Amino acid sequence: MNTNSTKKNLHLTLEERIEIQECLSHDMSFKAIGKHISKDPTTVSKEVKKHISILPTTLKRTDKDGLPVVALCPLLLKPPFLCNPCPKAHSACGFDRHFYRAKQANTEYENLLSEAREGVMLTKQEFFDSDAIISQGIKNGQHLYHIAKTSRLSMSIPTVYRHLKNGLLSVAPIGFPRVIKFRGRTEKHADYVPVGLKIGRNYMDFQLFCENLSIDSWVEMDTVIGILALPERI
């Protein structure tokens, strides 16, 4: 089995996150970092953006009227969107500083993984094994149901979609046809009826109408309005 392809299907480890932090400090691009740790550049980019920690500046910036100004450092507007490679990263700065810290990122990931596995009897290795099977099958063009039938997954299909939503799987949602095909249901609201049209048309008005005309029995009729002209029913 190809070691590199197997490694690409596994989640980032603490050692790999430390490598990412070191590479960012040397101003390496996401593509170069991905090649260095045998990961896809998109994986590195998602990892960094997901675990940015912000350190507020202690220097207050004000305008000519003395009002506080909240500004973003121009260097944060381009990759890697961090202060790690900046020579002023650990000195006084008038901007909020954005850092990627490996240990903090790994702790956040493990907490999220623990929450996702809550109530499910899975070890970390079983989760990684299932993730590798799913990721490889999706990359080979297989449908999730086919993967589940031909492989021994340690999780159910609904659990797979839940992990996908939480960003725990190595593959992106675009690889799952069901996620792309089905959209959330749009909530339909009843047509607005002006208050003026309701005057004299409530139940108390109906009772008063029957009392004035001495009506002691009546018939209700429902009508159905749709695309086809359906007959009224009594």
pLDDT band (50, 70, 90) for residue 183: low
- pLDDT tier at 21 (50, 70, 90 boundaries)? very high
Q: What is the pLDDT of residues 24-35, one digit of tens each?
A: 999 999 999 999
| pLDDT for the residue 1 | 40
Half-sphere exposure of 107 (CA within 13 A, CB side): 7
Which pLDDT score, from 0 to 100, does residue 187 have?
66
Q: What's the pLDDT band for 182 if we cut at 50, 70, 90?
A: very low
| 148 or 47, higher pLDDT | 47
Residue-wise DSSP of 161-226: HHHHHTT-SSS-GGG-HHHHH--PPPPP-PPP--GGGGTT-SHHHHHHHHHHTT-------B---S
Residue 24: give the domain boundaries. 1-110
Q: Residue 120 — pLDDT band, cuts 50, 70, 90?
A: low
Note whether residue 27 is domain-resident.
Answer: yes
Task: Look at the chain and report how many structural domains it folds into.
Answer: 1
Domain assignment of residue 210, yes or no: no
Is residue 99 situated within a structural domain?
yes
Residue 225, pLDDT score: 63
Segment 90-103 shows an average pLDDT of 83
Q: For the residues 160-173, what does the mean pLDDT come to? A: 76
Give the CA angle between residues 11, 13, 14 to the nearest 5°.
150
Residue written as token pair 């008005």: 205
DSSP symbols for 120-173: S---HHHHHHHHHHHHHHHHTT--HHHHHHHS--SS-HHHHHHHHHTT-SSS-G
In a domain, 151, yes or no: no
- The pLDDT, as a whole number, for residue 6 is 47
Q: Examine the pLDDT at 23 and tell me if it is beyond 80.
A: yes
Mean pLDDT of the chain: 77
Query: Residue 206 and residue 176: Cα distance in Å, rounded?
Result: 56
| Residue 171 placed within a domain | no
46 falls within a domain: yes
Asked, for residue 221, whether it belongs to a domain, the answer is: no
Give the model's pLDDT for residue 2.
Answer: 45
| Both structure tokens of 195 | 């208050």
In a domain, 127, yes or no: no
